[in-house]
A = this chain, B = another copy of it.
C-alpha cells in the first residue's frame, strides 16, 4: 500500500520572507516549507531568482534545478530599486518571523534591508544570512559557490583516490549542507522567540559550514597528527579489510557493491567467507584475524572480488546483507528514480508543475507519524503577489492593482 504524503502543520503560522537565491538559502527555506511554514520568495520582476533560468531553464520555463529547490513556496515580485517597492518589503519584514538572504557581501545593506534597519522595525525578526566566507575572515568580501566552499572548507582535500587529485563530491554539501545547518539555527531561534518574543541575527559562512561535515577527519587528524588524506571508496579512519567497493557483473560504471566487515564484529569475516563460497577461509590463520587480513589486504580483497564479479550488484547486496554483513549496491540516480519502492514510501514524489509538467523528485525524507511531507509545485514568478499583500498587509484588490500598474510589484 503506497503511503499518502501529508501536508505537515508543524510550523503552521510561521512566516518566512525569503530573499535568497540559487541553492544555499532556498534549500534552507524549502525544508521549512515542507514543515508547514509559509515561505514567501521575494523576487525581482524581470527574471526572478536566477536559479529559475540557471542550469538550462528559460524565462518561459523554470529549470528542474529551480523546481527541486523551491517546492511548497510562494512567490511575489517587487522592484527593490524603487522606494515604494522597498517600503513593501519593509512592511512584510515587519510581519515576518524570519527574513533570509544570501546575496553577495554588502548587497543587502546597499538595498537598505540590512540587519540594523530591519531589526529596528521588527525586534522579533530572525534575520538569517548565508555568505561564502565568515565575517572576520580574510576572504569575507569574496564570492563563493558550492565548489569554492568545498575546496576551502576541507571537503575536497579528503575526497578522491589516494594517489589522485582532490575531487568535488557530487552532493552539493557547500549549498544544501550549509542550508540545513542554518535551518536548525533558525528553528532554534524560533523556539526562543516563542518564549521571549525576541528575534536574533544568524550568520553562516559556507566555508565554515563544511568543517561540520568533516569533523571525523579532524578526529582522525587529532589521533595521527597528520592532515587527513584521501581514501577512494574506503574510510579515512582506516578499517578492517575487506572494506570497500567490489566490482560486479556486467561491469558498468556503477556495477559495484560496498562491503563492510566491521572491526568490532569478527563474525563479519567468517560470515563473508561462507557467502563467497570459501568457508574454509573463516578459520584459516592467514585470514582469521584483523591483523592477518591487514597484512594481506590486496589478497583478501581479491578473494572477495573474485566472487562479486560473478554476481550482479543487487544479488551481491542481497546475499551479503542477508548474512548480516553491512553491504550496499552503488545505485545511480536513474536506478533510484525507477525503483518504485521509493515512490510507494513517499520518498520520491511527483511534482505536477503547470509549465514543466510532472517531475519525479526526492521529497523530505523524514516521516512524521509514518508519512512524509507532501510536495506541492514551486511557484511561478510572482504568482502569489496579491495573496501575500492581502493576507500579510491587509491590502485591498484595488491597492494591489495600483502597485501592479505602477510596476512596483508584479
* A233 interfacial by beta-carbon distance below 8 Å: yes
Q: Which residues of B contact A69 (CB under 8 A)?
A: 215
Residues facing B in A331-348 (CB within 8 A) are 331-337, 341-342, 344-345, 347-348
Q: Mark A133-152, 1 if CB is under 8 A from B, else 0.
A: 01111110011111111111
Question: Contacts A138-B341, A218-B68, A328-B152: A201 and B370 contacting too (C-beta < 8 A)?
Answer: yes
Quote the shortest CB–CB distance from A74 to chain B (angstroms).
Answer: 19
Quote the shortest CB–CB distance from A264 to chain B (angstroms).
Answer: 7
Q: Are A14 and B191 in contact (CB under 8 A)?
A: yes
Of B145, B219, B359, which contacts A260 at CB under 8 A?
B145
Q: Of the 9-residue stretches A80-88, A159-167, A277-285, A288-296, which lies at the interface with chain B?
A: A159-167
Question: Contacts A148-B326, A156-B330, A166-B233: A187 and B191 contacting too (C-beta < 8 A)?
Answer: yes
Question: Contacts A159-B159, A233-B156, A333-B154: A187 and B184 contacting too (C-beta < 8 A)?
Answer: yes
Of B144, B184, B220, B235, which contacts A147 at CB under 8 A?
B235
* A403 interfacial by beta-carbon distance below 8 Å: no
Question: A368–B200 Cα gap in the complex (Å)?
Answer: 7
Residue of B nearest to A206 (CB): B365
* A401 interfacial by beta-carbon distance below 8 Å: no
| Interface residue range, chain A | 35 or more
- List the 5 shortest-distance A-B pairs measured between CB atoms, nearest first: A158-B170, A169-B169, A211-B362, A64-B219, A10-B188
* A384 interfacial by beta-carbon distance below 8 Å: no
Question: A202–B334 Cα gap in the complex (Å)?
Answer: 28
Of B136, B187, B192, B370, which contacts A188 at CB under 8 A?
B187
Q: Are A202 and B333 in contact (CB under 8 A)?
A: no
* A390 interfacial by beta-carbon distance below 8 Å: no
* A228 interfacial by beta-carbon distance below 8 Å: yes
Q: Which residues of B contact A344 (CB under 8 A)?
A: 136
Q: 5 extra interchain contacts, Cβ-Cβ under 8 A, other than A10-B191, A145-B260, A222-B361?
A: A142-B327, A156-B258, A171-B213, A203-B370, A211-B347
Q: Which residues of B contact A158 (CB under 8 A)?
A: 170-171, 332-333
Residues facing B in A175-204 (CB within 8 A) are 176-177, 180-185, 187-192, 194-195, 200-204
* A67 interfacial by beta-carbon distance below 8 Å: yes
Q: Which residues of B contact A208 (CB under 8 A)?
A: 342, 345, 347, 365
Q: Are B147 and A211 in contact (CB under 8 A)?
A: no
* A254 interfacial by beta-carbon distance below 8 Å: yes
Of B171, B232, B359, which contacts A173 at CB under 8 A?
B171
* A382 interfacial by beta-carbon distance below 8 Å: no
Q: Are A365 and B180 in contact (CB under 8 A)?
A: no
Q: Are B10 and A227 in contact (CB under 8 A)?
A: no
Q: Are A218 and B362 in contact (CB under 8 A)?
A: yes
Question: Contacts A171-B169, A183-B184: A200 and B332 contacting too (C-beta < 8 A)?
Answer: no
* A216 interfacial by beta-carbon distance below 8 Å: yes
Of B157, B192, B232, B329, which contacts A331 at CB under 8 A?
B157
* A54 interfacial by beta-carbon distance below 8 Å: yes
Residue of B nearest to A37 (CB): B188
Q: Which residues of B contact A230 (CB under 8 A)?
A: 170, 253
Question: Contacts A170-B155, A222-B64, A233-B156: A365 and B332 contacting too (C-beta < 8 A)?
Answer: no
* A98 interfacial by beta-carbon distance below 8 Å: no
Q: Are A202 and B166 in contact (CB under 8 A)?
A: no
Q: Which residues of B contact A200 (CB under 8 A)?
A: 368-369
Q: Which residues of B contact A307 (CB under 8 A)?
A: none
Residue of B nearest to A232 (CB): B167
